[in-house]
Amino acid sequence: MQTGANAMARSGDIEDRGSRTIGDALLPRSNSLNLIRLLLASLVVLAHAVTLGGYGSERILGWTSIGTLAVFSFFGISGYLIAGSAEANGAARFLWHRLLRIFPAYWACLALTAAVFGWLGWMQLHPTAGLSAYLHQPAGPVGYVVRNSWLHLTQISISGTLAHVPFPYAWNGSIWTLFYEFICYLIIGVLAFAGAMRHRIAVVGFALGVWVVEIVITSTPVLNAQFDALHHWELTNVLRFVPVFLVGSIIYLYRHQIPDSGWLAFGSVALMGGSYLIPVGAGIPAASLTRSDLSALLLVYPILWLGAHLPGRSIGVSNDYSYGLYIYAFPAAQLLALWGVFRWGYLPYVILTFLMAGALAVASWWLIEKRSLRLKDIGRSPTRTASSTGQYTGRQRSDLLSSPTRTCAEVGD
């Protein structure tokens, strides 16, 4: 029934405009964005396993990594979906939806890491010491949960565990990006509720302004040296991620004008590859601003285009495991490293990481995420979804069906 409705909306909308757009191609429940996000989370796992197992460097051409490109792609997809959510909901409900999607599973991950993973690490390091000693160590498990509870990661270690693995002390090196994801949510929320979403050029201008600042800093060595993991770290990441997220939002706002074009997707990827030849930026991906950060926004259209054309559209529509995989893979890999599994070689190590993290992701979805999302419509009064005549133009049908309450934003971003 849903497929038929989507087809009706698509054909009616194309008839109104005369050409197929990216908005037509990304009709809800008729795209593969959830599959794309699951694949992106898997790429992060594959990339991190290289470092966590001590097998070498994740870098590509010295300027980026597969994991970094996957994270940029996540931000672009989120920008597209969250713009729709901000446009369709009031301020309080928009924020409520974002809180429900991010925090319950995140808090559960922090608690499980501190109570189980960290404890196992402590027992291996100090087999005769008890629970009290574990709890009262500097930077202990309680501090790990409390200090990191609002997404800003300020404590990465737990009671000195993980001292003897290839990537020591850090229990979760993936979740730090969630802080900047939520900042992007707040930015698009403020833009929406200030009325900027009704004046699309204002969003374009804001995104362009942030990107220009990033270009100036990245291409000026004296300035670039002041924006890295040791200097102005939070601002560095805002400059890195916000333009990518906003390009996704801009594509959403212009979704009925931007064509569905494989050539445009291919051209964007080619232009991004060519930008790596421009000699600007530092050389440590994720820890400093590099040339790949400047061109990351060119990834957004191609990744959305893939989401419109790849098969597997039913994957993740009802059950979305990508978030759980993303937040649990790093601690799972570190626990396996603690047990010496990395010595078996990359392939066994990464397979076991997927198995452990996958099981945790499934449990996270069914026990935490799905139950939390049931609360998203608390206090919402039933709304009418048809006009008094029951008639819509193709554009109206498309907009109705592309409401974020019926997209993968409901179970994903």
Query: Which residue type sits at 14?
Result: I
Distances (CA, A) of 41 to 119, 292, 307: 26, 19, 15
The pLDDT of residue 214 is 96
The pLDDT of residue 18 is 55
Local structure of residue 365 (DSSP, 8 states): I
The pLDDT of residue 112 is 98
Local structure of residue 34 (DSSP, 8 states): H
The answer to whether 106 and 178 are in contact (CB under 8 A) is: yes
Mean pLDDT calculated for residue range 248-268:
97
Q: How many residues does the chain have?
A: 413
The answer to whether 312 and 139 are in contact (CB under 8 A) is: no
Residue carrying structure tokens 């997220």: 245
What six digits make up the tokens of 250?
């801009």
The pLDDT of residue 54 is 96
Query: 3-state SS of 338-390?
Result: HCCHHHHCHHHHHHHHHHHHHHHHHHHHHHHHHHHHCCCCCCCCCCCCCCCCC
208 phi/psi in degrees, rounded to 5: -65, -40
The answer to whether 106 and 134 are in contact (CB under 8 A) is: no
The pLDDT of residue 317 is 82
Cα angle value 283/289/290 (rounded, 5°): 50
Q: For the chain, state the CA radius of gyration.
A: 22
The yes-or-no verdict on residue 161 having pLDDT over 60 is yes
The pLDDT of residue 386 is 38
Percentage, residues of the chain above pLDDT 90: 72
Query: Which residue type sits at 151?
Result: L
The pLDDT of residue 391 is 41
The pLDDT of residue 28 is 81
**What confidence tens digit (pLDDT) does each residue in 259-296 have?**
999 999 999 999 999 988 888 876 676 678 888 899 99
The pLDDT of residue 389 is 36
Q: Determine the Cα–Cα distance for residues 226 and 241; give it in Å rounded to an integer.
A: 18
Contact residues for 389 (Cβ-Cβ < 8 A; gap 6+): none
Mean pLDDT calculated for residue range 224-246:
94
**What confidence tens digit (pLDDT) does each residue in 215-232 have?**
999 999 999 889 988 899
**What confidence tens digit (pLDDT) does each residue in 365-402 have?**
999 999 999 999 887 766 543 333 334 344 444 443 44
The pLDDT of residue 50 is 96
Instruction: Say if strands 59-60 and 64-65 run parallel, antiparallel, or are unpaired.
Output: antiparallel
The yes-or-no verdict on residue 5 having pLDDT over 70 is no
Range list of β-strands (E), 102-142 = none
Q: Which residue would you say has higher pLDDT here, 198 or 212?
A: 212
Q: Determine the Cα–Cα distance for residues 58 and 151; give it in Å rounded to an integer.
A: 25
Q: Which residue would you say has higher pLDDT here, 313 or 182?
A: 182
The pLDDT of residue 11 is 52
Q: Is 14 helix (H, G, I), strand (E, B) or coil?
A: helix
Mean pLDDT calculated for residue range 199-212:
96
What six digits make up the tokens of 163?
């001292």
**What confidence tens digit (pLDDT) does each residue in 322-374 have?**
999 999 999 999 999 999 999 999 999 999 999 999 999 999 999 999 999 99
pLDDT band at 19 (very low <50, low <70, confident <90, very high): confident
The answer to whether 163 and 125 are in contact (CB under 8 A) is: yes
Q: 233-264: b or e for each residue (b if 16 or more CB lie within 10 Å)?
A: eeebbbbbbbbbbbbbbbbbbebbebebbeee
Mean pLDDT calculated for residue range 61-67:
80
Q: Is 1 helix (H, G, I), strand (E, B) or coil?
A: coil
Query: Which residue type sits at 40?
Result: L
User: Taking the model in full, what pTM does it have?
Assistant: 0.89
- Residue 413's Cα: distance from chain center in Å? 8
Mean pLDDT calculated for residue range 225-240:
93
- Residue 65's Cα: distance from chain center in Å? 16
What is the rounded average pLDDT for all residues in the chain?
88
Mean pLDDT calculated for residue range 118-133:
93
The yes-or-no verdict on residue 131 having pLDDT over 70 is yes
The answer to whether 160 and 139 are in contact (CB under 8 A) is: yes
